[in-house]
Structure 1
Amino acid sequence: MNILHIFSNWKWTGPAEHALNLALEHQRQGHRVTFACAAPPEGAPSSIFGIARERGIEPYTGCRLNKHFNPADSLQDIARLAGFIRQSGFDIVHTHMPNDHLLAGLAVRLSLAKAVLVRTCYDGIGIRGGARTRICLRYLTDGFFTISNATRNQIMKRRYLPEHKLWKTDVPVDLERFNPDRVADIREKFGLTPETVVGGIVARVQTHRRFEVLLEALGIVVREFPGFKFMIIGRGTNIEKIAIKPAQAMGIRPNLIFTGYMKEDYAETLACLNFKIFLVPGSDGACRAVREAMAMGKPVIAARRGMLPELVEHEDQGLVIDDTAENIAEAIFSMVEAPEKRAQMGRNARAKAQRYFDMHVQAAGIINVYEELLQRKARPRWYHVFTRRSERSHQRTGGA
């Protein structure tokens, strides 16, 4: 199968990582794959282009592929993409962002090619509405992947797409990289003993991430358990103001370990934790950091936000709470005081990750959808006329 993956941005983000991982896995499975992205500005520290090259795929950068719609650049991109799609004979054009969805959708139509146009949406709680969304979904899309049931249900409720064009996919993680049986912790590096109970959070330290509530909760916990340690894995421009100085003022700074951004030893650092906390999804609606912790067999205390309640089943792979300081503290007490239950939730988390977050399985499932969509597109014209009439009738009646 000849597949074009398109990502309209140059920045390395959670969705960019998934798009690239999917393209690489499709390549490993024997398909002909082209990965298109925006060229990074000169001197950019980390880009999709650079990381794609490192991982063995040469990106196509013949289009601007801006993150946002720009009339002059976008019109040129549509024309260039149409020619590229026509000349390359792609079977599948898989888009991953709102702007590339529009550009590629129009380009496929302009090219008169028989390529199937699909999109993955990385919003965990629903797709943004508006005229562009309606046009893209109703007129330019053959298949659509969501990462959550909430988004899938929203699209059906708003009648953007019929059910037979919608699939839910899970965002995979590297189950071998985050394998608790293979990854040794580095507690000694941080002055931690094997007996110390350690919680942690993996997040960029930003105001909207509710660190003030987390610190208040940790203050409550440390009063009861002075030996408790908590790792803050991540960086932030205002980390001093948001976390370090408030922790000093509260008297809990000795209980906190600020690791900074971890790249080389990230999995080993994650292995140090007995449990993980996640309060506010960031730009990656898929909550990759939670998936990685679950793959490592770590139970998760998750706020009832975004798609977190879909990822973490309460009392099975962790605890799902309304994230007041008191509730966070109570959840931490549960983790500290019940080691056997904590360990069982960790095993359950690993089992769920193995079942749903396997890259090979998810990528193969997407290939199956591609094949179904190609078969649909090959059907005779009269079949599609009949199907469209049925869809319009279904939408008018609300599916009754």
Structure 2
Amino acid sequence: MISILHTEASLGFGGQEIRIIQESLGMIKRGHRVVIAAPPRSVIFRKAEESGINVFPAHFQKRNPISALRMRLLINRERFDIVNTHSSSDSWVAGIAARLSRVKPKIIRTRHLSTPISKSYLSRLIYEILPHAVITTGEEIRQRMINDNGFDGSKIFSIPTGVDLERFNPAKTKPAFQSQDVFSIGMIGVLRSWKGHKFLIEAMPEILKQIPQAVSYIVGDGPQYENIKNLIYRLSLRDNVFMLGHREDIPEIMASLNVIVQTSYANEGIPQSILQAMAMERPVVACRAGSIGEVIIDGVTGFLIEPKNPLKLAEKIVELYRNPELRIKFGREGRRLVEENYPMEKMLDKMESLYRWLLGEKKVDFWL
């Protein structure tokens, strides 16, 4: 049994936090012990408790040595083998605490986003000196860290988030709503500026010229909620664009959609919503950002376009509307790619192999 501590300073809840929960549950199912340390008022703290995962209340203050001392006490008391950190503040606090602890756990820094990393000594400290290994959620992020920052590639591992293929199974999923008389377009994810929701909304007038019965559904919550809502009103699209808020029935919503879009222009690894859409055999139109191009192969598993281009987005959506056979082809090829490369069990196998390698139990060869 491996004893694992995940730390997460973020108060919000998106793909990063969902992955922590999913991996934790998977590792517990495999017989390992998992604890998540997070702020008590964070969403992941509540979600972990609801999922039956052990949670430790923590406040990650980089400039407060008491935070590191408390974390060191936790690590010493619980005798963790692995400390996996996920955001900046908790990486500093937990990384230093783990290095100063008696039990000397192996430290992993998981890098979820493709945001450029500064070339300062502090960045080298947090990504290369403190951790024993770094995980990225896409190969593109790994290559940037090696080529742009000069980090040691031998300790950086790309392990994209896996998909629960049984849950995201189009043959077993009943649509959340009927869409026989409309052409349904959807975008699913946290409402952040760099997710680019505005470009889907700005594409809608052009889409409606070609597809009068088109509707768009924006699924998710976040800091851009009011801005997106105001843009919908400003463009007089209240009857064509609907904000559904945070939803848990994502497979059922995806089953209701004809096309799923991902308009991010920065920061992405491989978005879970794209892999989930592909698993549900939905055609995807996505922008070149982060590691998205690793799964959306233009003309094979979907359309890949340049970011911030509403007209091109509209053009590709209209093309899919006019070509149902292409929608089916993209869906089938997407499902096949996810089944081969991104099932949840494969992600868990890779994580478990890395943990065991760090602990000296086995050779790590999953990237070969």
Q: Report TM bin, short chain.
A: 0.7 to 0.9
Distance 2:31 2:191 in 1: 41
CA distance in structure 2 between the partners assigned to 1:123 and 1:339 by the alignment: 34
Supply the distance in 1 between the matched residues of 2:104 and 2:190 (Cα, whole angstroms): 43
Structure 2 gaps of 5+ residues are 363-368
How far the C-alpha of 1:186 sits from its partner, in A, is: 3.3
Counterpart of 2:51? 55
1:107 aligns with 2:91: no
Q: For residues 246-273 of structure 1, what are the alpha-carbon distances to aligned partners after superposition, in whole Å with 9 as ceiling and x for unaligned?
A: 134xxxx54x241421424432222111
CA contact (8 A) 2:270 2:290 kept: no
Deviation at 1:276, TM superposition (A): 0.9
1:348-387 equivalences in 2 (<5 Å): 348-375=333-360
8 Å contact kept, 1:215–1:247: no
Whether the 8 Å contact between 1:137 and 1:160 is mirrored in structure 2 is no
Cα-to-partner distance string for 1:1-37 (whole Å, 9 max, x where unaligned): 1111111234323211211221221111101222211
Q: What's the counterpart of residue 18 of structure 2?
A: 17
What is the aligned partner in structure 2 of residue 166 from structure 1? 156
Residue 209 and residue 246 in structure 1: after superposition, are their counterparts in 2 closer, same or farther (change >3 A)?
farther
Identity percentage over the alignment?
26
3-state SS, counterpart of residue 207 of structure 2: helix
Q: In 1, are the aligned partners of 2:175 and 2:256 still within 8 Å (CA)?
A: yes
CA RMSD of aligned residues (A): 2.5
Please report how far the alpha carbon of residue 225 of structure 1 lies from its aligned counterpart in structure 2 after TM superposition: 2.7
Distance in 1, matches of 2:110 and 2:206, equals 42
Which residue of the partner structure matches residue 227 of structure 1? 213
1:333 matches 2:334: no
Note if 1:305 corresponds to 2:289: yes
Contact 2:215 2:241 in 1 (8 A): yes
SS in 1 for 2:125: helix
For 1:351 and 1:149, the matched residues in 2 are separated by 20
The Cα shift of 1:335 comes to 0.4
What is the CA–CA distance in structure 1 between the aligned matches of 2:189 and 2:16, rounded to whole Å? 16
The DSSP-based 3-state class of the residue aligned with 1:81 is: helix
What is the correspondence of 1:125-144 to structure 2 with a 5 Å cutoff?
Answer: 126-144=116-134
Q: Which has the higher helix share?
A: 1
Note the C-alpha offset of 1:287: 2.1
Structure-2 change in CA distance of 1:279 and 1:337 (3 Å): same
Structure 1 residue 242 displacement after superposition: 0.9
Q: Which aligned runs of 4 or more in structure 1 are off by greater than 6 angstroms?
A: none
The CA deviation at 1:155 is: 1.7
Aligned length: 357
Task: Give the letter for the 2:92 counterpart.
Answer: L
Measured in 2, the distance between the counterparts of 1:159 and 1:240 equals 39
Quick one: distance in 2 between partners of 1:209 and 1:158? 24
Bigger Rg over Cα: 1
> 1:167-223 CA deviation, whole Å, 9 max, x = no partner?
1001123322221111111333xxx31x64322222456666545543443222322
Q: Which secondary structure does the structure 2 equivalent of 1:184 belong to?
A: coil
Q: Tell me the residue number matched to 1:385.
A: none
Gaps of 5+ in 1: 41-45, 378-400
Structure 2: distance between partners of 1:58 and 1:210: 35
Alignment correspondent of 1:269: 253
Alpha-carbon separation, structure 2, partners of 1:212 and 1:154:
28
For residue 170 of structure 2, give the secondary structure of its aligned residue in structure 1: coil
Match of 1:198 in 2: 184
Match of 1:392 in 2: none
- SS at 1:247's partner residue? coil
